[in-house]
Amino acid sequence: MSNGVDEPVLQLRNITKRFGNFTAVDDVSLDIGNGEFFTLVGPSGSGKTTMIRMLVGMDRPTGGDIVLRGQRINDVPAAKRPTCMVFQSLALFPHKTVGENIEFPMKIAGVDPARRRARAEELLVQLRLPTDYYSKGVNQCSGGERQRVALARALAFDPDILFFDEPLSALDFRLRKTLEKELKDIHRATKKTFVYITHSLEEAMVMSDRIGIMDFGKMVQVGTPYEIYNEPNGKFVAQFMGEVNTVEVARIGDKRVQSVTDGAEFAVSREPDNFERGYLIIRPEIVKIGRAAEDLPNKVQGTVYNDYSLGSRIQYQVRADSDGYQWLVERLQDEPYEGKLDDTVRIGWRPEDSILVSD
Amino acid sequence: MQPGVRAAIPAAAFLLIGFAGPLLMVLGYSFMPPRTFSLAQAPTFANFISIVTDSYYLSFVWSVFLSLIAVALLLVISYPVAYGMAKMFGPWANVVTMIIVVPLLVSENIRLFGWVLVLLKNGIADGSMQLLFGVQLPSLLYTVPAIVLGLVYVYLPFMLFPLVIGLSMVPDTLKEAASDLGASRLQIFREIEVPLAMPGIMIGCMLTFILSLGSLAESKILGGQTVIMIADDIESAFTFAQNWPKGAMLSVILIVFSGSLVFFLFRRIDLDRIIGRR
Amino acid sequence: MQAGKKNYAKPLIILWTVCIVMFLYTPMVSVVLASFSKKRYFQFPVVNWTTRWYEKAFESLSVRDLLTTSFSVALLVTVLSVVLAFFGALAFARYDWKGRKLFQKIILLPIFFPQAVLGLALLLWFSVLGITTSWMTAVFAHMVWIVPIVTLIISIQVYSFDPSLEEAAVDMGATRLQTLREVTLPILSPGIISGSVFAFLLSWGNFPLSLFSTGADQTVPEWLYAKMVSGYTPMVPTLGSLMMGGATITLFVSYVAYTLYRGRQKRRLT
């Protein structure tokens, strides 16, 4: 699984972490490149937090090696590692001002006060915070400002790698979207290696150069956002992105599969090696409804059960006549369709738009 | 070593020497022959038998009886105040808390002595009655009600604060929901408030009961010699009577009795939830 | 209907609370009243007022001794208890470790324990160990009861402490000592301060533990008790009032100091 990176800064070799009988991280190997924005994604309990705690040095792996720039650092405690983490709670010191928070790592490192202050003000500017925030209490800052202070403090440490433990999860949707983009800008500007963890694949897609998806302590797939979206290697990854239609199928011929539940046959354009049985993944946004579906090779007939407005698009829930499966279909507002609830309709998609996975 | 273990060691070691050690010593002495001062003798049950023969059980019965009365009174007296502090007073609740905590920091003796001054013949109560109505009150000091008054007075905060914690653990939305579903005020009290506040109610009752049971100063200062409570008996066995094994035996009984109540209490409550509100 | 009922419930509850507060303060007011009464044996209403008993108290060398003993005990108890309780509170509420639940119960046990019995048990213990009781053993005895209480008070603060603050400091290279000084202690300081105040005042006023553990030395509450039981003198209410005065001053000074400190902190952080 460890796919080669030109210039790895951090290498994980068969990392395993057990708590008693429970295996939180199970034999994960991975290379993270220098200057890369790498995101670990997984549902809660997938082992991503345990993983990042080991990488930062707050937990020790039960097995395997963590290698930083060629040096094994398993037993190096967090305080001695040239890495720094932005915590989920941000961990800003409530009894210190914004300036004192940012200066903290430099104070620990013994930098003299004048240089500390200069650097802190530089970082305030870089993070688009007003410089008079220097003497403000952190509890007077808004959510977004606190994010930036936390990031400034981590940057003041000047780490080789910056880790992020879901720092945006407590913010509302719009602020999160803004900060995701800002974070990517900071990444470009600083050229540092960022390792980010989140439970939202959407968030990961926006920011990351590469994404690693974890489930039950295992690394399921590593790839660029494009690869993760278009070439998921399993049902888990495909469904993790959001709502998809999943049909359990068996192979019946060259690029032809048959639904296990109702026997309907579908054409596909690609097959995994040695494919026998698996799942056909069809994203709602590529499924056509009504007249638009008539000319497509893969078709299902059903009844419109409900419709939901998603803003720019409308989503329909269509119950298949044959096996009762609830299909999700989306169309853009301006695409023509005159159907009403309880109408019998056809839905369809092109073979090249569906994805066939083995498990 | 885990950091938690390291942090626990100083306090735990201290209590091992300062708490567990003395208790084991008391346990040891309770099996020594009466009126001896050494632990190096053949153990005997003589002391435990004397509970019945020397009617020591009487002071124990008195202690339990007076403590039960005190707890019942405390519950009734404190509940409205606790309710006000948990649900009504808002920011003033902190002020009320401060006002009620302050007397705790004044020596129990002094406060009980203040009651002596109130209850004394020609004291504040008697004197005011004479002044206002010309009536002379019967002797109030050195009576059983005076002891109960002392117990209620001294242990009031120990009932009140657990009740406040208990009642503040009852979400208002639940009561509103119950009311919305047609429950009467009495039904809300019985079905929602009391069950959810139960941990606090239990802590309050247990704490005040156990403290009353082991109280010494109240019966001595306000009760005179009217009633001998168990702690009185224990004290005089150790001091005037110079009968350590007997005092130790009485202590063991008191400790086992209160200890099992505490054990029962601790099994039923989650300290993290009550103290840390998590 | 609900609102209508609440309207009369609230004044009643407020009235009741006021009554309870008066009930709590009645004896203290009585003691102060008695201390200014000229009569050798207290009578109400007070006819003749005097400050003579206070003058006598301040002149008396034995009163000075009593106050010195009480003060020394309380001061030492405060310092030692807070140190033990600080770490105890971290073990109680901060760290997740295997024996934590058991530790919580054991540490709280002495609070539930009859103090008189605890005092006697300690007396027995000291005599078996061959230690002569004095005000120093009283310090030890007080601590058995006060360390758990202070642990509980600091724990309440520790529960609201975010452990990731310490982790963040360590992650940025701070040593254990630096983390303690820069992060843990300042954030937990309100709990530590209120713990100290409680430790001091509870020791200052303690009677049942002192009674059996001070030996030849005597604290003020012990002396008061002895005089109440036999050989009453008007110095009892006087010294009692002085004790309350001492407690009030301690409370007031620490409260003002703390408010000023918080105010400065707040101004600094705006």
A79 contacts C171? CB cut-off 8 A:
yes
User: Residue C178 is nearest to which of A56, A89, A108, comparing CB atoms?
Assistant: A108
pLDDT of residue B216: 86
C265 contacts A108? CB cut-off 8 A:
no
Taking the C-alpha atoms of residue B141 and residue C205, their distance in angstroms, rounded to an integer, is: 24
Q: Is residue B3 assigned to a domain?
A: no
pLDDT of residue A124: 94
Please state whether at least 3 CB pairs lie below 8 Å between chains B and C.
yes
B25 contacts C93? CB cut-off 8 A:
no
DSSP string covering C109-126: GGGGS-HHHHHHHHHHHH
pLDDT grade, residue C118 (50/70/90)? very high
DSSP state of B139: P
C96 contacts B106? CB cut-off 8 A:
no
Residue-wise pLDDT tens digits, C144-191: 999 999 999 999 889 888 889 999 999 999 998 999 999 999 999 989
Which residues, including other chains, have CB under 8 Å from residue A84's CB and lie 6 or more apart?
Answer: A56, A105, A154, A157, A159, A161, A162, A163, C171, C172
Taking the C-alpha atoms of residue B42 and residue C188, their distance in angstroms, rounded to an integer, is: 52
- Whether the CB-CB separation of A143 and A170 falls below 8 Å is answered with yes
Residue-wise pLDDT tens digits, A188-201: 999 999 999 999 99
- CB atoms near residue B13 (< 10 Å): 11
Nearest residue of C to residue A98, measured between CA atoms: C269
**A neighbour chains, 3+ CB pairs within 8 Å:** C
Query: CB-based contact (8 Å) between A91 and chain C?
Result: yes
- Whether the CB-CB separation of B29 and B20 falls below 8 Å is answered with no
The count of structural domains within chain C is: 1
pLDDT of residue C180: 92
Delimiting residues of CATH 2.40.50.140 domain(s) in chain A? 243-352
User: Residue B103 is nearest to which of C28, C148, C229, comparing CB atoms?
Assistant: C28
Q: Is residue C42 assigned to a domain?
A: no
Pairing type for strands A326-332 and A313-320 reads: antiparallel
Q: Residue B130 belongs to what domain range?
A: 53-276
Q: Is residue B25 assigned to a domain?
A: no
Taking the C-alpha atoms of residue B240 and residue B236, their distance in angstroms, rounded to an integer, is: 5
pLDDT of B133 > 80? The answer is yes
Taking the C-alpha atoms of residue B31 and residue B45, their distance in angstroms, rounded to an integer, is: 6
User: Residue B15 is nearest to which of C107, C204, C229, comparing CB atoms?
Assistant: C107
Task: Name chain B contacts of C140, Cβ cutoff 8 Å.
Answer: 18
Q: Residue C163 belongs to what domain range?
A: 54-268
Q: Is residue C2 assigned to a domain?
A: no
CA of B75 vs chain C CAs: smallest distance (Å):
13
- Secondary structure of residue B11 in the 3-state scheme: helix
Q: Is residue B120 assigned to a domain?
A: yes
Cα A299 to its chain centre, rounded Å, is 32
pLDDT of residue B277: 58
| Alpha-carbon distances of B251 from A93, C142, C258, rounded to whole Å | 50, 19, 42
A105 contacts C172? CB cut-off 8 A:
yes
ω into C110 cis (within 30 of 0): no
DSSP string covering C181-209: IIIIHHHHHHHHHHHHHHHHHHHHH--HH
Cα B216 to its chain centre, rounded Å, is 11
Taking the C-alpha atoms of residue B19 and residue B26, their distance in angstroms, rounded to an integer, is: 11
DSSP state of B193: I
Taking the C-alpha atoms of residue C112 and residue A38, their distance in angstroms, rounded to an integer, is: 55
User: Residue C207 is nearest to which of B18, B108, B276, comparing CB atoms?
Assistant: B108
pLDDT grade, residue B243 (50/70/90)? confident
Any idea which residue has 């247990």 for tokens? B206
Which residues, including other chains, have CB under 8 Å from residue B253's CB and lie 6 or more apart?
Answer: B51, B60
Task: Give B183: exposed, middle or buried? Use CB within 10 Å, 0-12, 13-18, 19+.
Answer: middle
pLDDT of residue A335: 77
pLDDT of residue A194: 96
pLDDT (mean) for A309-334: 88
Residue-wise pLDDT tens digits, B99-121: 898 888 888 888 999 999 898 88
B108 contacts C27? CB cut-off 8 A:
no
Q: Is residue C131 assigned to a domain?
A: yes
User: Residue C143 is nearest to which of B18, B25, B89, comparing CB atoms?
Assistant: B18
A95 contacts C170? CB cut-off 8 A:
no
pLDDT of residue B178: 86
pLDDT of residue A311: 83
- Whether the CB-CB separation of A102 and A149 falls below 8 Å is answered with yes
pLDDT of residue B184: 85
C45 contacts B113? CB cut-off 8 A:
no
| Alpha-carbon distances of A185 from A69, A120, A122, A188, B214, rounded to whole Å | 25, 19, 16, 5, 69
Count contacts between A and C (CB, < 8 Å). Answer: 70
- Whether the CB-CB separation of C209 and C122 falls below 8 Å is answered with yes
The CATH homologous superfamily for domain A243-352 is Nucleic acid-binding proteins (2.40.50.140)
C236 contacts B231? CB cut-off 8 A:
no
pLDDT of residue A4: 59
Query: CB-based contact (8 Å) between A136 and chain C?
Result: yes
pLDDT of A107 > 80? The answer is yes
Q: Which residues numbered 104-163 in C keep a CB inside 8 Å of some CB on B?
A: 104-110, 112-118, 120-125, 128, 140-141, 143-144, 147-148, 151-152, 155-156, 159-160
Tokens in use for B214? 């082991």
C268 contacts A137? CB cut-off 8 A:
yes
pLDDT of residue C4: 46
Residue-wise pLDDT tens digits, B182-238: 888 888 888 889 988 988 899 899 989 998 998 888 888 888 878 888 888 888 888
Q: Is residue B151 assigned to a domain?
A: yes
| Alpha-carbon distances of B217 from A32, B63, B226, rounded to whole Å | 72, 13, 13
Task: Name chain C contacts of A83, Cβ cutoff 8 Å.
Answer: 171
pLDDT of A337 > 90? The answer is no
Residue-wise pLDDT tens digits, A229-274: 888 888 899 888 888 999 999 999 888 999 998 888 999 988 888 8
Residue-wise pLDDT tens digits, B16-49: 999 999 999 999 999 988 888 777 788 888 888 8
Q: Phi/psi of residue C181, each to 5°?
A: -75, -40
Task: Name chain A contacts of C170, Cβ cutoff 8 Å.
Answer: 58, 77-79
Enter the pTM of the model. Answer: 0.83
Beta strands in B181-277 (DSSP E): none
Q: Is residue C112 assigned to a domain?
A: yes
- Whether the CB-CB separation of B108 and B115 falls below 8 Å is answered with no
- The ipTM, to two decimals, is 0.87
The count of structural domains within chain B is: 1
Query: CB-based contact (8 Å) between A84 and chain C?
Result: yes
pLDDT of C3 > 50? The answer is no
Mean pLDDT over all residues of chain B?
87
Nearest residue of C to residue B188, measured between CA atoms: C2
* Weakest mean pLDDT among A96-105, A336-345, B213-222: A336-345
- CB atoms near residue A158 (< 10 Å): 15
pLDDT (mean) for A112-123: 94
Taking the C-alpha atoms of residue C72 and residue C61, their distance in angstroms, rounded to an integer, is: 16
C173 contacts A95? CB cut-off 8 A:
no
pLDDT grade, residue A218 (50/70/90)? very high
CATH code where residue B160 lies:
1.10.3720.10
pLDDT of residue A3: 54
pLDDT of residue B36: 80
Residue-wise pLDDT tens digits, C64-78: 889 899 999 999 999
pLDDT (mean) for A71-91: 91
pLDDT of residue C149: 93
C109 contacts B131? CB cut-off 8 A:
no
Percentage above 70 pLDDT, chain B? 99
The CATH homologous superfamily for domain A8-235 is P-loop containing nucleotide triphosphate hydrolases (3.40.50.300)
A87 contacts C174? CB cut-off 8 A:
no
| Best CA proximity match to B44, nearest among B23, B54, B30 | B30
* Burial track B63-90 (b if 16+ CB lie within 10 A, e otherwise): bbebbebbbebbbebbbbbbbbbbbbbe
Best mutation target, C171, C184, C265, to test chain A (most A CBs within 10 A): C171
pLDDT of residue C71: 93
Q: Is residue C229 assigned to a domain?
A: yes
pLDDT of C1 > 80? The answer is no
- CB atoms near residue B173 (< 10 Å): 9
pLDDT of A73 > 50? The answer is yes
User: Residue A89 is nearest to which of C162, C169, C178, comparing CB atoms?
Assistant: C162
C244 contacts B122? CB cut-off 8 A:
no
Task: Name chain A contacts of C175, Cβ cutoff 8 Å.
Answer: 79
Taking the C-alpha atoms of residue B35 and residue B242, their distance in angstroms, rounded to an integer, is: 7
Alpha helices in chain A (DSSP H): 48-56, 98-109, 113-126, 143-156, 173-190, 201-207, 225-230, 235-240
Query: CB-based contact (8 Å) between A164 and chain C?
Result: no
* Weakest mean pLDDT among A333-342, B99-108, B256-265, C234-243: A333-342
| Best CA proximity match to B229, nearest among B115, B49, B58, B30 | B58
Taking the C-alpha atoms of residue B128 and residue C38, their distance in angstroms, rounded to an integer, is: 18
Task: Name chain C contacts of A79, Cβ cutoff 8 Å.
Answer: 170-175
User: The sheet that has A326-332: what strands, in order across it?
Assistant: A288-289, A344-349, A298-309, A313-320, A326-332
pLDDT of A38 > 90? The answer is yes
- Secondary structure of residue B216 in the 3-state scheme: coil
Task: Name chain B contacts of C125, Cβ cutoff 8 Å.
Answer: 21-22, 25
Length of chain A as a residue count: 359
DSSP string covering C15-54: HHHHHHHHHHHHHHHHHHHHHTB-SSS--SS--SB--HHH
